[in-house]
Amino acid sequence: MRQTARRIAIVGFGPRGLGALEALVRIAEAQDKPLAVDLFDPVDWPAAGPNFSPDESPVCLLNLPLRSIDLPSPLLGGAVDSFAAWLAEDGHDGEAFLPRAQLGAYLNARFADLRSRLPDHISVTLHDVRVTAAQRDGLRWRLHADARVFGPYDHVLLSLGQPETGDDEQMARWRAHADRYGLPLVSAYPGAALLQTAESWAGQIVGIRGLGLSALDVVRMLTLGLGGRFETERYLPSGREPARIVPFSLDGQAPAPKPSNAALDARFDPLKEEDAAFEAALLAAISGPGEAALPTLSAAIEASALRILRQTGGTGQLAAVCDWLAVEFEDPGSQERRETLVALSANIAEADGAEPPSIGYVIGQLWRKWQPMLRRIYDSSPVPVETARALVGLDESLKRYSYGPPVATARQLMTLIQAGLVDARAADDPDVALVAQGWRLHSDDRSVTANVMVESVLPPAALEPVTDPLVTGLRRTSAMLALGNGLGAQCTPDGELIGDDGAPVNGLWLAGRLANGSAIAGDSIHDCFGGICARWAQAVLIGMQR
């Protein structure tokens, strides 16, 4: 006689939710376990999530080439194969950086195919509602959404992506200023909504807070998305663009592009013995005191970086590599003092192999190569809070190299700067004056007033600024606690939340950005399949019978 089906809820059903569902189905199918899963997300494209929505602008690109997107095979022998195979008829090669919308369409199709092939003992129900509260019911949980109550559930996984977050102090002032003077202040995403609004911005000066990957998306939307095009090294405007686009950040630096092809990328591959040295150093770092974490990693990073620098014609002095890392640990990002265009041109030359890579570029690429190992080791055991803070901080600081855009996007930005359509500059809070016409940006003895402002800065992966009612409610009841200031929630290695008594909160789990610190480097699409989601599925279906 088959046992009663275990009831499980997944709240938030983007790519990570799909990864969690697939992990559950894989075990339930293999073990012949009855399973009833309810999915909660008020979206038009289940499994895609807002970042990969199939109706997103096609100029918003993945920051990985197709050759690097290696997701686990779909389940149950379905008709939807790997992403590359699914795209095969479109003729893309492995070097293509595709629109995020295409990956979202694939994930949505992958979910639909899985759902159509479920065996009789597994049921999956999708609810297009937003969960606003989770309430204990003995050892189980009930969920509140749209004046309805769902459950009770044996286990609830919160896979929330980026929930609603309050404005920081600067943005709160700016929003009040925009409301007072009727000025446009909009978010970078969803891109389709930004593009629709931007149709009325011809001739305006548009400021973009931030100069990271999201800002590059905005620049592409305000040029290519409005009908412009690039031809060789020229930009041919459509006439619908703003008069000027002014992205700005604290340092005025754009992220460095990735190596432009597989052969150039392979120059940064660590050797097997270097992988082993980094693994040993990482294991020692996460088990030691916080102040020793980064120095413990240094020797492994330095040795690999020095070898690559010497092989590629870069600066090959060990002292220089050690000094670079020491400064990066103390003051992340402070070593890049070149003007935006100069640094961008140099980074493009490094990505193309036209110039030897710098120390920072080499270390950033090594860090990217080591991220799967970093996640595997770091996420598998509890990490002391100060150690977590140090390692998360290093991962964040190196994103300007490890999460870089395609080199074509960097070239387009350089072309737009040279043409005068984009004016990139450094500007912190004292350099932005609020005036009736908009935002007056001043740097390097130059001033420009933006009539429109676009917010492209992603909220920090921390609990403090989150305003989502589900999260704030769990924090009030101490079912969700921050690991530390500026970090996400405290969780076990398989994602179970830890309460104020130091014990796991029975049946309540978290995966994604809000677990930052308990987990690391969770923004990659590959982190959504395997890792924490696989351990979570094992725990709820096989182990941890509390």
Choose among 23, 8, 18: nearest CA to 531. 23
User: Which ranges of 159-238 does DSSP label H, i.e. alpha helix?
Assistant: 169-181, 191-198, 213-221
Give residue 542's pLDDT: 80
Q: Are residues 272 and 370 in the same domain?
A: yes
Residues 315 and 237 in one domain: no
pLDDT at res. 339: 87
Identify the CATH number of the domain in which residue 203 sits: 3.50.50.60
In whole angstroms, give the CA distance from residue 338 to residue 161.
Answer: 35
Tell me what pLDDT residue 468 has.
96
What's the pLDDT score for residue 522? Answer: 85
Flag residues of the chain having pLDDT under 70: 1-2, 76-77, 89, 315-316, 427-430, 543-546
Whether 375 and 511 share a structural domain: no
Within a domain: residue 152? yes
Per-residue model confidence (pLDDT) at position 1: 45
Task: Check residue 414 and give its pLDDT.
Answer: 96
C-beta separation of 56 from 147 below 8 A: no
Provide the residue range defining the domain that includes 423.
169-254+407-455
pLDDT of residue 89: 66
- Tally: H helices and E strands in the chain: 17, 19
| 183 plus 211 within the same structural domain | yes
Amino acid at 115: R
Domain count, the chain: 3
- Tokens 């592409």 -> residue: 220
- 88 within some domain: no
Instruction: Answer yes or no: do 426 and 534 share one domain.
Output: no
Q: 162, exposed or middle or buried, with CB in 10 Å at 0-12, 13-18, 19+?
A: buried
State the DSSP code for 137: E
Residues 283 and 361 in one domain: yes
Give residue 543's pLDDT.
Answer: 61
**Last residue of some domain: 455, 472, 493?**
455
Residue 353's pLDDT is what? 95
Confirm whether 83 is domain-assigned.
no
Could you tell me if 267 and 334 lie in one domain? yes
Q: Which pLDDT does position 315 carry in this prediction?
A: 67
Residues 341 and 389 in one domain: yes
Task: Check residue 316 and give its pLDDT.
Answer: 66
